[in-house]
Amino acid sequence: MALTRKIRVYNSTDLRIETLGTCSIDAPSCTAGGASLSAAHFVDDDDRILLDDHVRSLGGGKPFYLMPSFELAGPRRKIFFDPSKTRVGIVTCGGLCPGLNDVIRGLVMEAHYRYGIRKVYGFRYGYQGFIAAHGHDVIELSPDDVSDIHEDGGSILGSSRGKQDIAQIVACLDRMGINILFVIGGDGTIRGAISIADEIQKQGLRISMVGIPKTIDNDIQYIDQSFGFETAYTKAVEAISTAHNEARSAPNGVGLVKLMGRESGFIACHAALATCHVNYVLVPEVPFKMEGPNGFLESLRQRLASRNHAVIVAAEGAGQDLMPCDQVEHDASGNRKLGDIGKFLCSQIRDYFQGINVEVNLKFIDPSYMIRGVPAIPPDSVFCWRMAQNAVHAAMAGKTRMLIGQWHGRLVHVPMKQAIVSRKKVDPDGDLWLSVLEASGQPRVFS
C-alpha cells in the first residue's frame, strides 16, 4: 500500500546537500570479501530522483536538471575523509524503535569492513552522552561488539530525551577528534543535529553530520517508510487479533486497541488493513464527534445491534480536542503531553451504554511499549542495513546536514532542514484513508 504524499514546492537549491569540501581521495576499490567494484557500483552527485514523479510535473517545458530532485544515495568514487585517520561517533536519541540495533550494527560493519575505519565510538543515552556532567561512558564499537545485537530490541547505546548544551557537545566531538557523527532519531533529534552542525560551522571544524531518521510513527517528510514502522504495525496486528477474539467471545463485545501515532495515524491505518477485523479506526488527522445521531457512540450502538461485537483501533493522538485539558504540558523533548484516548474512550463507551441500559463487554489493550522494544522483523532489518550502508557512503564523501531517506523506492540524500519543515500525515482525502474506510465500513465522518 503506497503512502499518500503531499508534495511541497521546492526548487533545486532547497534540496542541495552541503559538503565539507572537495573529495580528492580514491574510495576503496574492493569490498570486504575482495570483490572488485566496477563503475556501475558508484553514484555521481548528478544522479538524482525527482521530487514529484507524476507525469503532470513534467509539463511547462522546464529542463529536467532544473526540476526539484534529491541526490541518489550510494558510494562515491572520490571521498573526503582519509579512512585511516577517520573517527566515527554514533548516538541514538528519543524513544525506542525496532531496528535501532540493526542500524548501529550496520554503521559499524560498513565503516570497518568497507572503509577500513578502526575507531568507532558509541555515545550513551542520547545527547547526554556528550556532556561530562552526566557521567556516561563512551564505548568503543568493533564488529565483534555488534555482531549479534540485531537479534535484540532496544538500543545498546541507550537513549534519552531533552536538550543539551550544544557548545559542550561540539567541544566533546573536537576533543575526541570525531570526524563523522551519525545521529539516529526523530524530528527533535534532527533539530538538535542542525544546531550542532551550526556550532561546528561557527567554530570552523570539519565534522560531517549525517542522520538516519527514526520515527516509529512514520511521520518524517520525504521518507516513504521509516525503519521500524513495518515491525510496529506487524506487531500491532497481534494485539488487534487478540482484541477481536475477546470481542466476538462475549455479548456486545468491544475490543479497543490504542496504538502509537501522536500526530500521524499510519500505524493504526496499516495495522487495521492488515487484519481486516477492525470496524473503527480513529486517527489524529480525522476529527470525530462522540455524541449525536451521527456520532461515534451511536454508530457503535448500531454496529453491536447488528453484529454483536466491534473492534476499535485508536492512534494515541486521536480525539485530543474532545478531552478536557486545564493546561498544556510538554515532555523533555518539547512534545505536547497527550490526553489518554484509550481511557477516554473506555469511559465514554461504558457511560453511554449504561445510560441506555445496554450491556457492553469492553476490553482495552495498549501494546505500545511491547511494540517499541521488540527486535526488527526481517524486512526492517534489510532496510536498516541499507540505510546504514548509505549513511556511511554519504559521510565519507563529506556530506553533512542530511538524512538518508527512501523516496519513490530509492535511497536518497534529504537535507535535514527540509525533512522537518512539517510532519507527514495521513491524507483524509487520499487513497490510504479511503482503503481504511472501505475495509472497516465506518462512516466517512462522525458528526
**What local confidence, expressed as pLDDT, does residue 67 receive?**
80
Q: Are residues 181 and 322 in the same domain?
A: no
Confidence bin at 3 (pLDDT 50/70/90): very low
Q: If DSSP codes are grouped into helix, strand and coil, which group holds residue 236?
A: helix
Confidence bin at 4 (pLDDT 50/70/90): very low
User: Average pLDDT for residues 397-409, to the nearest whole number?
Assistant: 96
The residue annotated as part of the active site, out of 102, 217, 224, 380, is 217
Per-residue pLDDT tens digits for 264-278: 999 999 999 999 999
pLDDT > 90: what percent of the chain?
Answer: 82
Residue 190 forms part of a structural domain: yes
**What local confidence, expressed as pLDDT, does residue 7 receive?**
53
**What local confidence, expressed as pLDDT, does residue 324 receive?**
78
Lowest mean pLDDT among 34-43, 66-75, 204-213, 383-392: 34-43
pLDDT > 70: what percent of the chain?
Answer: 91
380 noted as active-site residue: no
**What local confidence, expressed as pLDDT, does residue 11 receive?**
59
User: Average pLDDT for residues 341-370, to the nearest whole number?
Assistant: 96
How many domains does one find in the chain?
Answer: 2
Q: Are residues 387 and 258 in the same domain?
A: no
* CATH code of the domain covering residue 364: 3.40.50.460
300, 307 contact by CB (below 8 A): no
How many Å separate Cα 398 from the centre of its chain?
24
401 pLDDT above the threshold of 60: yes
For residues 29 and 355, which has the higher predicted lDDT (pLDDT)? 355
- The whole-angstrom separation of Cα 407 and Cα 222 is 6
Per-residue pLDDT tens digits for 191-203: 999 999 999 999 9
User: Average pLDDT for residues 174-181, to the nearest whole number?
Assistant: 98
Lowest mean pLDDT among 20-24, 180-184, 232-236, 331-335: 331-335
Residue 9 forms part of a structural domain: no
**What local confidence, expressed as pLDDT, does residue 53 receive?**
78
User: Average pLDDT for residues 361-379, to the nearest whole number?
Assistant: 95
Per-residue pLDDT tens digits for 78-104: 999 999 999 999 999 999 999 999 999
Write out the DSSP string of 4-51. P--PPP--TTTTPPEESS---EEPPSB-TT-PBP-GGG---TT-EEES
Residue 344 forms part of a structural domain: yes
- The whole-angstrom separation of Cα 296 and Cα 47 is 50
**Which one, of 213, 215, 257, lies nearest residue 232 by Cα?**
215
**Which one, of 276, 268, 253, lies nearest residue 367 by Cα?**
268
Phi first, then psi, for residue 394 (nearest 5°) are: -65, -45
394 pLDDT above the threshold of 90: yes
User: Average pLDDT for residues 332-345, to the nearest whole number?
Assistant: 83
10 pLDDT above the threshold of 90: no
Q: Are residues 68 and 202 in the same domain?
A: yes
Q: Are residues 233 and 221 in the same domain?
A: no
**What local confidence, expressed as pLDDT, does residue 41 receive?**
85
Domain span at residue 336? 229-373+428-440
Q: Are residues 183 and 221 in the same domain?
A: yes
Q: Are residues 49 and 179 in the same domain?
A: yes
334 pLDDT above the threshold of 90: no
**What local confidence, expressed as pLDDT, does residue 60 receive?**
60
426 pLDDT above the threshold of 70: yes
Confidence bin at 204 (pLDDT 50/70/90): very high
Q: Are residues 140 and 271 in the same domain?
A: no
* CATH code of the domain covering residue 182: 3.40.50.450
Residue 251 forms part of a structural domain: yes
- For the record, the C-alpha cell of 311 comes out as 473492534
**What local confidence, expressed as pLDDT, does residue 12 receive?**
57
Q: Are residues 318 and 340 in the same domain?
A: yes
- For the record, the C-alpha cell of 205 comes out as 571544524
Q: Are residues 212 and 319 in the same domain?
A: no
Q: Are residues 237 and 149 in the same domain?
A: no
**What local confidence, expressed as pLDDT, does residue 1 receive?**
41
**What local confidence, expressed as pLDDT, does residue 235 receive?**
96
**Which one, of 440, 95, 442, 447, lies nearest residue 261 by Cα?**
95
